Amino acid sequence: MTGRGDNEDTITPPLLAKTWARGIAFQVTLRGRARDLSSDNRWLRSARLELAYFSGRTLLASRTTRGAGAILRFERVRPRGKGAFRPLARAEITPAFLDRAIRALKRWGYDIVSLDEACDRAVRLAGSHRFACLTFDGAWKDLITHGYPVLARHGVPFTVYVPTAFPDGLGEAWWLALEAVIARETRISLVIDHREQRFNVSTPAEKYELFAYLSRWLRKLPPAELSVAIRDLCSRHSVDLAALTREASMNWADIARLASDPNVTIGSATVHHHVLANLKHADAAREITMGQAVLEAALHRPVRHMAFPFGDRDAFRRSDVVSAQQAGFISAASSIGGVVQAEGRTDLHALPRIAWEGRIRSLRALKVLMAGVTLPKAKAEPQAKLDLG
């Protein structure tokens, strides 16, 4: 998902943020160096993982809560970017880190297995060796260009979850567009709740806070409203949403290339990668079944695994788990943390995965999480106090 070098700078709590309707500024006041507002939680999480490693909790967990194995969730694989504003860096790992992680898993004695094998081990008696399963969400182009060469060199199996509208050129990666707009602009306008809002964001800290605020708002919208909102934002600030999404996404030729490799499992991430919890039950079920049907038609083979888009506890409901079962999927993966237990004690249609935070590059942290160590939930990041009146 790298910590800061020191703790000298402090954010004045609470962050002061004010928004006025129709043309007044969004203001953030903080003391000291501007930085990513999530850095405190990230640094604390990294420190806790390092402490768990050196305190021996990893060894204790490996004997008590280690389970049958663990499924790792990655998204993008590409060289480390530059710039002070990179809110999506948490979803990126470098090819070098991927190589280090695979070497470490082998060194630690993990069997790196396919998703089919992981599901099979989840219902059997625990074996002497734990497994690791590598999964990649989103079917991003950089997985082909930067990740696949590493994975192929190691000869390890992995799974790619594809939202089928994206290789069709019809997907909308709204989070990429939001990052692009905020990175480029210092004055941003859009309509929120039928009211014109304008924001002044000249520092990285202001940009990070606005990104957090707008991404939370957008994620809660029904898909049709989200599409209108992000298209309006992109139109106002000359960002080509369709081109940005196409450039970042695999096409069908890329997916066919991966599918021809016996080490690669292609899974579904629905059609449009909507938050299923924001849809009516029938619409969510249709997203699940249509994503499967499109992939099976394109690949001429059964598609037996899926991942819930975004995958956190707010992203899907129990009814969506049932829909995945009824569609005939062997598994449906979440991004809720945890290890996979043996003897059928893990629900295969709400599979836990270790969602790797790309800004943490410690293999010790990886070893702690793979051992089943859980950490207290981090405090919520400071949120803007908005005066919309």
Q: What is the pTM of this model?
A: 0.84
- Model confidence at 382: pLDDT above 70: no
Mean pLDDT of 180-192: 95
71 sits in the region (left: phi over 0; alpha: psi -120 to 50; else beta) called beta
pLDDT of 35 reads: 43
Predicted local distance difference test score (pLDDT) of residue 48: 55
Question: In terms of DSSP H, where are the helices of the chain?
Answer: 39-55, 57-64, 95-107, 115-122, 141-142, 148-154, 174-184, 204-219, 223-236, 241-248, 252-259, 281-299, 318-326, 363-370
Average pLDDT over residues 106-111: 96
Q: Which range (48-52, 199-203, 283-287) has the least confidence?
A: 48-52
CA dist 225 and 358 (Å) reads 30
Q: Cα–Cα distance between 311 and 160 in angstroms, integer?
A: 15
Do the Cβ atoms of 53 and 368 come closer than 8 Å?
yes
Please tell me the predicted confidence (pLDDT) of residue 6: 33
User: CA-to-CA distance for 263 and 113, rounded, in angstroms?
Assistant: 9
Show the tokens assigned to 99: 């190589």
Percent of the chain surpassing pLDDT 70: 79
* pLDDT of 173 over the 70 cut: yes
Predicted local distance difference test score (pLDDT) of residue 359: 81
Q: What pLDDT, on a 0 to 100 scale, did the predictor assign at position 360?
A: 82
Which residues face 16 on adjacent strands?
29
Distance between CA atoms of 383 and 151, rounded to whole angstroms?
A: 39
pLDDT over 60 at 242, yes or no: yes
CATH class as words, domain 68-170+249-370: alpha beta
Average pLDDT value for residue range 352-363: 88
Phi and psi at residue 220, to the nearest 5°: -85, -10
10 pLDDT tier (thresholds 50, 70, 90): very low
Q: Are 323 and 284 in contact (CB under 8 A)?
A: yes
DSSP H or E segment with residue 307: strand 305-307
The residue whose two tokens read 């089943």 is 372
Strands 76-77 and 69-74: unpaired
For 18, the token pair is 């004010």
Between 39 and 80, whose confidence is greater? Answer: 80
pLDDT > 90? residue 8: no
Q: Give per-residue pLDDT as tens, 128-144.
A: 889 999 999 999 999 99
- Cβ atoms within 10 Å, residue 66: 20
Quick one: 56 exposed, middle or buried, by C-beta within 10 A (0-12, 13-18, 19+)? exposed
| Residue spans of alpha helices (H) in 185-315 | 204-219, 223-236, 241-248, 252-259, 281-299
Q: Is the pLDDT of residue 44 over 80?
A: no
Domain locations along the chain:
16-37+172-243, 68-170+249-370
Cβ burial 123-157 (10 Å sphere, 16+ → b, else e): eeeeeeebbbbbbbbbbbbbbbebbbebbeebebb
Are residues 181 and 237 in contact, defined by beta-carbon separation less than 8 angstroms?
A: yes
**pLDDT class for 224, splitting at 50, 70, 90?**
very high
What would the pLDDT profile of 254-313 be if each residue is shown by its tens digit? 999 999 999 999 999 999 999 999 999 999 999 999 999 999 999 999 999 999 999 999
CA distance 42 to 4: 9
Q: Is the pLDDT of residue 108 over 50?
A: yes
How sure is the predictor about 368, in pLDDT bands with cuts at 50, 70 and 90? Answer: confident
The rounded distance, in Å, linking the Cα atoms of 71 and 61 is: 17
